[in-house]
Chains A and B, each alone.
Chain A
Amino acid sequence: MWARAVRFGLRSWVAWRRGFTSKADPQGNGRVSAQVIEHLERLALVDFGSQEAVARLEKAIAFADRLRAVDTGGVEPMESVLEDRCLYLRSDNVVEGNCAEELLQNAHRVVEEYFVAPPGNISLPEQDEQEPFSYN
């Protein structure tokens, strides 16, 4: 059962996306193709929501492209400024815990000592499959 707010949001969002892909060329508007947009939305589980957001991403990518001008031949990537040191590891002993009740307090849906999640292994519908009018 889709919440009403999401249905309205989805309707306009799908309409926008349909318009977008039908008008755009295969490469997409500028640098980011529609497939990449959909892919990103699935990976991030965050949607663009508007044309402006896509435009912002394209600007961000154009900005990042400036890195190509730097000569990094023979340079190793740097993951951390403390790469010359070893990370500290604690000894494998239990020193704290037994706070299930405290931790469960922050969750919205809880049954006994379980966090309740909706069913998994159901991917988000494909863009074509999303038909707002078929939901009740």
Chain B
Amino acid sequence: MLGRTLREVSAALKQGQITPTELCQKCLSLIKKTKFLNAYITVSEEVALKQAEESEKRYKKGHSLGDLDGIPIAVKDNFSTSGIETTCASNMLKGYVPPYNATVVQKLLDQGAVLMGKTNLDEFAMGSGSTDGVFGPVKNPWSYSKQYREKTKHKAHGENEDSNWLITGGSSGGSAAAVATFTCFAALGSDTGGSTRNPAAHCGVVGFKPSYGLVSRHGLIPLVNSMDVPGILTRCVDDAAIVLGMLAGHDPKDSTTVQDPVKPFTLTSLTDVSKLCIGIPKEYITPELSSEVQSLWSKAANLFESEGAKVIEVSLPHTSYSIVCYHVLCTSEVASNMARFDGLEYGHRCDIDVSTEAMYAATRREGFNDVVRGRILSGNFFLLKENYENYFIKAQKVRRLIANDFVNVFNSGVDVLLTPTTLSEAVPYQEFIKEDNRTRSAQDDIFTQAVNMAGLPAVSVPMALSNQGLPVGLQFIGRAFHDQQLLTVAKWFEKQVQFPVTQLQELMDDCSSVFEIEKLAAVSLKQ
């Protein structure tokens, strides 16, 4: 049942093959079984069961609210949820219980979705590994797949078998792991520089970033106001489209949402791609790109071509500067957005009472980790009077050049761009932490963050397993507000490569056996 698509489960619920409460219980027990992955910060068991009960009443009366009624979902812990602790994986907000729901959360709840819990992330969504939160790192469920363990067995004999576990990617790693392990059907992430697509690629699920302005950011604790977007993680493209249909649309509480009318849509199944033009940006072929990912990328391009699509090489000339530009703009906006955390009205507050300034300084020292503090300080540097023109304004100009690159490419007849999502498959945690957060983000976001700067929709679709048995995803980028077209192409591709269901189900069997055999180990792994 858990391996089915949203539509199938929704139909099963309507027909009474399974009840929302049974579905909820199954997911809750799976969450308990996969606790060692640390994907969830808060599991809202009571709330979930209550919501499932209400959904069941609606189904009995024949008044279901729609395709999402009774469906378990998870939400990244930087979305405000009324009555449920929202921490952003930071000491600054530990114990903070918002008095309101984020608009996207409210929309999902209005549709009858059942909230399983809040998922783990990098602190304040800053990072590309989901390793820097105060609740500890998230482990990639693929670390426990039979195939991967077989390949790394020779390295681990004698040592603790778990020392080679892989990162999920970030910053929405908890959401990606939650979806990959069947504990929910869809999860909300946030995407500022690739934070939804990166972990989706590493965990073998679909990660969708809508166009900027399509989905409301009200209630999403902001990182970069001009680039943040709520992201959707699901096990198949069709499910992502269903969730998008529920979430898209103007929100009076977020004035950066566009006012164009939005109707829920059903994705058509493309049978003929001959009218499609796929662009391959040549600047995305970098030496750091792993040969496996590169060959899968070529394979995908050839697949489109063999089915009649036009596949052409395009140029995004300012690609090499996009990561630098992102770095300046991101830290500058962060410096501004983090200023609200002063301990007075919510969040952590230190014990110092000498003066407000001293209290603010100590609260912020105690509440933020090094990564957040580093970004705040860098951002303030770039915003200093003497630096404003040379760094901040300059970066804004470069942003326009980057956005124009995309506009030019799409104007030349390209419908969709095809690129890798990540440089390689998921790496072991021990290797990931050898470099600091900023360096890693600069390396890992390389294919994903230009999309945020231009505000375009993009989706990462899992394609195949690498030689080590780990998932690799490819990214499709579409024109602004052409999300439906983008998802249609992604759905066609997904059908051709046949990744999701079979591989994930085998993974879950492997994870379950790990849990059974290593129950003691799981207890000792809890931090």
Contact = CB atoms under 8 A, between A and B. Distances in A.
Interface of A: 1-3, 6, 9, 32, 36, 39-41, 43-49, 53, 56-57, 59-61, 63-64, 66-70, 72, 75-82, 85, 87-90, 99, 102-103, 105-109, 115, 117-120, 122-124
Given A48-B377, A115-B345, A118-B359, A79 B255 contact: no
Q: Which of B395, B453, B454 has the most CB of A within 10 A?
A: B395
Given A75-B397, A124-B358, 20 more contacts: A6-B350, A40-B381, A44-B380, A47-B361, A47-B373, A60-B374, A64-B324, A67-B391, A70-B321, A72-B394, A72-B398, A77-B400, A78-B396, A82-B212, A88-B257, A106-B345, A107-B345, A107-B346, A122-B355, A123-B355
Contact of B359 (A67, A78, A80, A117): A117
Contacts of A109: 349
A99 B381 contact: no
B16 interface: no
Contacts of A53: 370, 373-374, 377
A1 to B, nearest CB: 7
A87 B252 CA distance: 10
Contacts of B390: 68
A66 B326 CA distance: 12
Nearest to A76: B400
Contacts, number: 193
Interface stretch (B41-49, B106-114, B184-192, B327-335): B327-335
A45 B361 contact: yes
A44 B352 contact: no
Interface string B464-483: 00000000000000001000
Interface residues of B, number: 73
Q: Which of B255, B378, B391, B393 has the most CB of A within 10 A?
A: B378
Contact of B352 (A6, A76, A78, A80): A6
- Chain A interface, >50% SS class: loop
Contacts of B382: 64
Given A47-B361, A64-B324, A81-B455, A40 B377 contact: yes
A79 B522 CA distance: 48
A120 B376 CA distance: 23
A79 B300 CA distance: 35
Nearest to B367: A46
A91 B513 CA distance: 58
Nearest to B354: A118
B288 interface: no
B361 A46 contact: yes
A43 to B, nearest CB: 5
A7 B394 CA distance: 41
A49 B368 CA distance: 12
A45 B341 CA distance: 11
